[in-house]
């Protein structure tokens, strides 16, 4: 879709129609299916009493007819004064396509305050419903209650002030089925008004779970008392997609793509929206559009959707995440009437983040750090690098780290089982021995066990059932691995002293590994991402699968765009299969998750965001992946 504020010839409808037609030719070639232009764009918004003159009105209808005949393969939404058969004059928008007028939508609310005097010329079209059968323009409705249905998506139209009222008609149209709202506007510029306008549009798109496209009048309007900037904006479900340059004498436009499937997923899953009463007085208008020839996306696809690119925004997010995690843990301590925390320190990323959160929780409650019992439990696969990292972390924060080796206990346990292979039994025996130590140690000292496993591991089931899968409270339960790395780095830069920052950077440089297989020459032999795939890919799949309901084909296409030059389509396909296979088969672990705080928009808590049968089949998913290029 496109929002355009073209160069205006004030009070010259035929000239403006030609200018708009030139835009449409270029936009159609670029693959645009729908384009919206400013309020009263055929005449100009500032014609004042000229709106009462027959020449202007006659020229407007003639210009509309010429422009309609140019609309093939693209739909145009343009503004003009429209006179009803009973003599009333409307500020209206005409939807043009297939060489004809598809419908006329009148403005419902006329501003008549401050610099606006619309009620001098126009009446409200809120209750208008007329059928027009024009010899050249065709047969169509004049009413604000129209949904234009292309077969692939549905949109509605509102005009300027309609957006600013307490009950915008665009929101009502969203409840009636419109997935997009197109706004033709003439909003003048004033100090801070553009910021307010952006916020209003963005939050309206969030409230309507819709795409919102906005085109306002430009600086070629009359500047007798006010100036128009030609603001064009696109927003989608609470997020700004694009905006054009203001005050451009040669016109401005934005071309954007909207994610229809994601909007529909949001509307299904948001039960408040889904259960809201639906108006039943809207007419569906068949609206032919050409299939878009674009084979790639205009919008950039963020390879790391959990992590904001903007440094200042991430700083605020990181502080908020730490606050949520530490407050949740501190509240849990109060509920358990305990002042002691027990955590297993591996020297890896997740346990380091959980450790920092535990310190923050104690500080929040005014409890001395000696009440944090950090335990490192080296086993057959533990390297000197991670073992010393755990101790250095304690030294840098004034916490004594206790070391309890699991080697003898695991060896005896495997002897009892008469098991000697370095397989899943060997690995899980270590994980369960560590968890046994933590819980029994917590019982001994009247504490609670702080969990460390992250969202990405839970999604893939990369944890041992009833071992690292379990805790009294898991502070990392909804923090993905890609976010975890940024959080620890943020802490090193913004909160740590030099000694602690040095340890955190050492942890960040450590390969991700469960360290459950014997080390070789002191080096880690088990690299998680070599086994299950890159976490950045899995986090990408997880985000778009849970937040947008995307299927394999869409996930593959988006990932190939986001990671172009990093992973080939074949590699993306390989790890996409791994993601779905593990996500579906490992649900039984998520069904029995311990409590933990939700920090972002994605969570896998069986009591909160995600409910799924443990036995769900995935043959259809794997077949779809197999058919990918």
User: What pLDDT digit, counting tens, does each position of 381-436 carry?
Assistant: 777 878 899 999 999 999 999 999 999 999 999 999 999 998 999 999 999 999 99
Same domain, 373 and 458: yes
Same domain, 505 and 589: yes
Going by C-alpha positions, the residue among 562, 575, 524, 179 that lies closest to residue 381 is 524
- Whole-angstrom CA distances from 598 to 326, 368, 462, 465, 528 are 12, 27, 19, 21, 25
39 flagged as catalytic: yes
DSSP-derived secondary structure letter, 1: -
Residue keyed to tokens 């708009």: 20
> Of 253, 286, 319, which one is at a domain's C-terminal end?
286
Q: Is residue 122 part of a domain?
A: yes
Q: How confident is the model at residue 525 (pLDDT cuts 50, 70, 90)?
A: low
How many Å apart are CA 490 and CA 357, to the nearest integer?
13
Same domain, 418 and 337: yes
Q: Are 384 and 358 in contact (CB under 8 A)?
A: no
Q: How confident is the model at residue 528 (pLDDT cuts 50, 70, 90)?
A: confident
Q: Are 230 and 246 in contact (CB under 8 A)?
A: yes
Same domain, 266 and 332: no
| Strand-by-strand arrangement of the 401-403 sheet | 401-403, 372-376, 341-344, 448-451, 473-474
- The burial class, CB within 10 Å (0-12 / 13-18 / 19+), for 239 is exposed
Same domain, 133 and 273: yes
What's the pLDDT tens digit per position in 283-304? 999 999 988 766 678 888 999 9
DSSP-derived secondary structure letter, 210: S
Same domain, 438 and 530: yes
- Whole-angstrom CA distances from 3 to 185, 252, 257, 332, 491 are 11, 9, 11, 51, 42
Same domain, 520 and 599: yes
Q: Is residue 497 part of a domain?
A: yes
pTM score of the predicted model: 0.91
Please state, for a pLDDT cut of 70, what percent of the chain lies above it. Answer: 97
Q: What local confidence, expressed as pLDDT, does residue 517 receive?
A: 55
Report residue 513 as tokens: 């590994």
Same domain, 169 and 79: yes
CATH number at residue 61: 3.60.110.10
Q: Residue 421: CA atoms inside 13 Å, Cβ hemisphere, count? A: 3
Q: What share of the chain is helix, strand, coil (3-state, %, to 5)?
A: 45, 15, 40
Identify the active-site residue in 39, 236, 243, 427. 39
Q: Is residue 231 part of a domain?
A: yes
CATH number at residue 514: 3.40.50.620
Q: What local confidence, expressed as pLDDT, does residue 235 receive?
A: 98
Query: For the chain, what is the domain count?
Result: 2
What's the pLDDT tens digit per position in 301-344? 999 999 987 778 888 899 999 999 999 999 999 999 999 999 99
Q: Is residue 470 part of a domain?
A: yes
Going by C-alpha positions, the residue among 527, 362, 344, 569 that lies closest to residue 440 is 344
Four-CA torsion 277, 278, 281, 285, nearest 10 degrees: 170
Q: What local confidence, expressed as pLDDT, does residue 382 receive?
A: 73
Same domain, 451 and 538: yes
Q: Residue 323: CA atoms inside 13 Å, Cβ hemisphere, count? A: 6
Q: Is residue 200 part of a domain?
A: yes
72-81, 135-144, 305-314, 420-429: least confidently modelled range: 305-314
Same domain, 522 and 440: yes
Q: Is 624 helix (H, G, I), strand (E, B) or coil?
A: helix
> Of 286, 303, 325, which one is at a domain's C-terminal end?
286
Same domain, 274 and 361: no
Q: What local confidence, expressed as pLDDT, does residue 381 receive?
A: 73
Going by C-alpha positions, the residue among 122, 70, 57 that lies closest to residue 91 is 122
Q: What local confidence, expressed as pLDDT, does residue 291 receive?
A: 81
- The burial class, CB within 10 Å (0-12 / 13-18 / 19+), for 12 is middle
Over residues 241-250, mean pLDDT:
96
Q: What local confidence, expressed as pLDDT, does residue 514 receive?
A: 55
481 flagged as catalytic: no
Q: Are 105 and 79 in contact (CB under 8 A)?
A: no
What's the pLDDT tens digit per position in 84-111? 999 999 999 999 999 999 999 999 999 9
Which neighbouring-strand residues pair with 341?
Answer: 372, 448
> Of 271, 286, 301, which one is at a domain's C-terminal end?
286
Q: How confident is the model at residue 523 (pLDDT cuts 50, 70, 90)?
A: low
Domain with 114, as residue range(s), is 2-286
Q: Is residue 297 part of a domain?
A: no
CB contact set of 175 (below 8 Å; sequence gap of 6+): 273, 276, 277, 278, 279
Report residue 392 as tokens: 């250095």
Q: Is residue 508 part of a domain?
A: yes
CB contact set of 7 (below 8 Å; sequence gap of 6+): 19, 218, 220, 249, 250, 251
Same domain, 280 and 338: no
Q: Is residue 306 part of a domain?
A: no
Identify the active-site residue in 160, 174, 210, 560. 160
Identify the active-site residue in 47, 107, 457, 573. 107
Q: Are 23 and 6 in contact (CB under 8 A)?
A: yes
Over residues 40-66, mean pLDDT:
97
Q: Are 558 and 550 in contact (CB under 8 A)?
A: yes
């Amino acid at each position: 879709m496109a929002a355009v504020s073209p160069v205006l010839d004030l009070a010259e409808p035929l000239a403006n129609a030609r200018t708009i037609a030139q835009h449409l030719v270029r936009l159609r070639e670029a693959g645009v299916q729908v384009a919206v232009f400013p309020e009263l764009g055929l005449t100009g918004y500032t014609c004042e009493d000229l709106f009462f003159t027959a020449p202007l009105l006659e020229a407007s209808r003639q210009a509309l007819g010429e422009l309609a005949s140019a609309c093939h393969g693209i739909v145009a939404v343009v503004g003009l004064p429209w006179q009803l058969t009973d003599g009333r004059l409307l500020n209206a928008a005409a939807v043009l396509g297939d060489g004809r007028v598809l419908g006329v939508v009148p403005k419902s609310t006329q501003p008549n305050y401050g610099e606006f005097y619309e009620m001098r010329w126009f009446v409200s079209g809120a209750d208008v419903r007329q059928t027009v059968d024009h010899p050249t323009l065709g047969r169509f409705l004049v009413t604000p209650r129209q949904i234009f249905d292309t077969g692939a998506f549905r949109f509605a139209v509102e005009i300027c002030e309609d957006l600013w009222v307490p009950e915008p008609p665009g929101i009502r149209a969203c409840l009636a089925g419109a997935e997009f709202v197109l706004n033709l506007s003439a909003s003048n510029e004033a100090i801070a008004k553009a910021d307010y306008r952006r916020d209003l549009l963005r939050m309206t798109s969030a409230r309507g779970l819709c795409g919102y496209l906005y085109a306002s009048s430009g600086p070629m309007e009359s500047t007798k008392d006010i100036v128009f900037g030609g603001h064009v904006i696109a927003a989608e479900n609470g997020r700004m997609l694009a905006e054009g340059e203001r005050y451009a004498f040669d016109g401005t436009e934005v071309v954007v793509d909207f994610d229809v499937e994601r909007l529909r997923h949001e509307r299904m899953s948001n039960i408040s929206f889904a259960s809201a009463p639906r108006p039943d007085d809207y007419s569906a208008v068949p609206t032919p559009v050409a299939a878009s020839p674009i084979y790639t996306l205009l919008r950039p696809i963020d390879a790391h959707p959990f992590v904001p690119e903007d440094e200042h925004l991430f700083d605020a997010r990181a502080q908020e995440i730490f606050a949520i995690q530490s407050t949740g843990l501190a509240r849990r301590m109060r509920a358990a009437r305990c002042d002691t925390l027990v955590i297993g320190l591996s020297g890896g990323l997740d346990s380091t983040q959980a450790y920092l959160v535990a310190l923050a929780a104690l500080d929040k409650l005014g409890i001395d750090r000696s009440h944090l019992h950090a335990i490192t439990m080296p086993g057959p696969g533990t390297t000197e690098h991670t073992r010393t990292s755990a101790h250095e972390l304690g030294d840098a924060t004034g916490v004594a780290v206790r070391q309890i080796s699991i080697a003898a206990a695991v060896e005896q346990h495997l002897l009892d089982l008469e098991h000697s292979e370095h397989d899943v039994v060997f690995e899980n025996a270590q994980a369960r021995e560590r968890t046994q130590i933590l819980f029994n140690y917590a019982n001994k000292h009247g504490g609670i066990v702080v969990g460390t496993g992250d969202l990405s591991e839970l999604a893939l089931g990369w944890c041992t059932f009833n071992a690292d899968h379990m805790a009294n409270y898991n502070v990392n339960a909804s923090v993905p691995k890609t976010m975890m790395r940024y959080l620890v780095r943020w802490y090193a830069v913004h909160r740590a002293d030099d000694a602690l920052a040095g340890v955190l950077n050492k942890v960040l440089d450590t390969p991700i590994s469960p360290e459950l297989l014997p080390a070789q020459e002191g080096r880690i032999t088990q690299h998680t991402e070599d086994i299950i795939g890159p976490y950045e890919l899995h986090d990408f799949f997880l985000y778009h699968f849970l937040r947008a309901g995307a299927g394999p084909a869409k996930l593959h296409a988006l990932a190939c765009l986001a990671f172009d030059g990093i992973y080939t389509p074949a590699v993306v396909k390989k790890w996409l299969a791994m993601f779905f296979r593990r996500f579906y088969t490992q649900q039984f672990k998520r069904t029995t998750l311990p409590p933990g705080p939700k920090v972002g928009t994605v969570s896998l808590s069986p009591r909160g965001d995600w409910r799924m049968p443990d036995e769900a089949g995935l043959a259809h998913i794997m077949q779809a992946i197999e058919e990918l290029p």
